[in-house]
Amino acid sequence: MTARIFKPAKNAMQSGRAMTREWQLDYEPEQPRAVEPLMGWTSSGDMKQQLTLQFDTKEDAIAYCERRGIAYQVIEPKDPLRRPAAYADNFAFKRVEPWTH
């Protein structure tokens, strides 16, 4: 049983940063998913896929895995590229292409 420790990404549909400050622990699937012949649904007998744990810090998540003897993999978050922009830059003389209506 292997676990992934990571910080979840920001929701692409909203501009807020909610639910991205805590570290999350998810288990890797132990069994492949299979299609049920009767209904055609995708299912798995692995119940750990449904389990998600959240921790305040990365160290707390690592300590939890080490206490329980769980193999883990830490995925470091990538910092977003922030490009400073101002409204006045739309009308600057250094603009690559001229601004027109």
Mind listing the domains of the chain with CATH numbers? 3-91 (3.30.160)
Output the tens digit of pLDDT for each of the chain's 101 residues. Answer: 799 999 998 888 888 888 888 999 999 988 888 898 899 998 888 888 889 999 999 999 999 999 999 999 999 998 878 888 888 887 777 777 766 65
- Both tokens of residue 38? 């009767």
pTM of the model: 0.72
